Amino acid sequence: MDGRPGGRHHQAGKQPVCNREVRCEPPNNRLDRFNGTLTYAGQKYPLDNEKILLRGCTLRNTEWCFGLVLFGGQETKLMQNCGKSTFKRTSIDRLMNVLVLCIFGFLVFMCTILAIGNYIWEVKNGSNFTVFLPREDGNNAGFSAFLTFWSYIIILNTVVPISLYVSVEIIRLGNSFYIDWDRKMYYSRSDTPAEARTTTLNEELGQIKYVFSDKTGTLTQNIMIFNKCSINGTSYGDVYDYTGQRLDISEHKDPVDFSFNPLADPRFVFFDHSLVEAVKLENPEVHAFFRLLALCHTVMAEEKKEGELFYQAQSPDEGALVTAARNFGFVFRSRTPDSISIVEMGNQRNYELLAILDFNNVRKRMSVIVRSPEGKLSLYCKGADTIIYERLHQSCSKLMDVTTEHLNEFAGEGLRTLALAYKDLDEEYFCQWKQRHHEASTSLEDKESKLDELCEEIEKDLLLLGATAIEDKLQDGVPQTIEQLAKADIKIWVLTGDKQETAENIGYSCNLLREEMKDVFIISGHSPEDVRQELRNAQNSMKPDGATNSLLLPEEIGKNLIKDEAADGEYGLVINGHSLAYALESSMELEFLRAACLCKAVICCRVTPLQKAQVVELVKKYKKAVTLAIGDGANDVSMIKAAHIGVGISGQEGMQAVLSSDYSFAQFRFLQRLLLVHGRWSYLRMCKFLRYFFYKNFTFTFVHFWFAFFCGFSAQTVYDEWFITLYNLMYTALPVLGMSLFDQDVNDVWSFQHPQLYIPGQLNLYFSKKAFFKCAVHSCYSSLVLFFIPYAALQDTVRDDGKDVADYQSFALLTQTCLLFAVSIQLGLEMSYWTAVNTFFVLGSLAMYFAVTFTMYSNGMFLVVPLAFPFIGTARNTLKQPNVWLTIILTSILCVLPVVTYRFLLIQLCPTINDKVMFKVRQARATPLPPTRRARIRRTSSRRSGYAFSHAQGYGDLVTSGRFLRRPAVSRSSGFPQVGRATTGFSPMGRSAGYSPTGRPQNLKVPDVEVTSLQMYRTISDAPL
For residue 78, CA distances in Å to 636, 745, 952 come to 11, 45, 18
For helices 91-124 and 680-708, angle between their N-to-C axes, nearest 10 degrees: 0
User: Please, which contacts does 896-905 make with residues 24 or more away whose CB atoms are closer than 8 Å?
Assistant: 896/822, 896/825, 896/826, 896/829, 898/778, 898/781, 899/778, 899/826, 899/829, 900/829, 903/829
Q: How far apart are CA 639 and CA 607, in angstroms?
A: 11
C-alpha–C-alpha distance, residues 701 and 709, integer Å: 14
Check if the beta carbon of residue 219 is closer than 8 Å to that of residue 204: no
User: Would you report the helix, strand and coil content of the chain in percent, each value rounded to 5?
Assistant: 45, 15, 40
Instruction: List CB contacts of 223: < 8 A, sequence separation 6 or more.
Output: 316, 472, 473
SS3 (DSSP) at 38:
strand
Q: Is 994 left (phi over 0), alpha (psi -120 to 50) or beta?
A: left
* 486 contacts 600 by C-beta, under 8 angstroms: yes
Alpha helices in 129-230 (DSSP H): 141-155, 162-181
The CB density around residue 164, as the number of other CB atoms within 10 Å, is 18
Angle at 67 between CA 61 and CA 73, to 5 degrees: 110
Query: 3-state DSSP call for residue 891?
Result: helix
Per DSSP, the three-state class of 366 is: strand
Q: Are strands 330-336 and 308-312 parallel, antiparallel or unpaired?
A: unpaired
Nearest to 296 by CA among 347, 354, 346: 354
- Mapping DSSP to helix (H, G, I), strand (E, B) and coil, where does residue 495 land? strand
Among 1010, 1012, 1009, 212, residue whose Cα is nearest residue 669: 1012
Taking alpha carbons only, the member of 369, 386, 387, 390 closest to residue 378 is 369
Cβ-count burial 704-731 (b if 16+ within 10 Å, e if not): bbbbbeeebbebeebbbebbbebbbeeb
Give buried/exposed letters for 674-701 (b at 16+ CB in 10 A, else e).
bbbbbbbbbbbbbbbbbbbbbbbbbbbb
Q: Which helix (H) or strand (E) holds 629?
A: strand 626-631
Q: Which of 214, 358, 498, 632 is catalytic?
A: 214
SS3 (DSSP) at 234:
strand
User: Which of 694, 691, 700, 699 is closest to 726 using CA atoms?
Assistant: 700
Burial of 53 (0-12, 13-18, 19+ CB in 10 A): middle
| Backbone dihedral region for residue 282 (phi beyond 0: left; psi -120 to 50: alpha; all else: beta) | left
User: What is the C-alpha to C-alpha distance for residues 154 and 274, in angstroms, rounded to an integer?
Assistant: 88
In residues, how long is the chain?
Answer: 1025
Active site residue 214: yes
Q: Give the other-Cβ count within 10 Å of 290's Cβ.
A: 27
Residue 958, Cβ neighbours under 10 Å: how many?
19
Q: Residues of 847-884 as b/e, b for ≥16 C-beta within 10 angstroms?
A: eebeebbeebbbeebbeeeeeebebbebbebbbebeeb
d(CA 460, CA 930) in angstroms, rounded, equals: 62
Q: How far is CA 233 from the centre of its chain?
A: 42
Structural contact between residues 479 and 936, judged by C-beta atoms closer than 8 angstroms: no
Provide the annotated active-site residues: 214
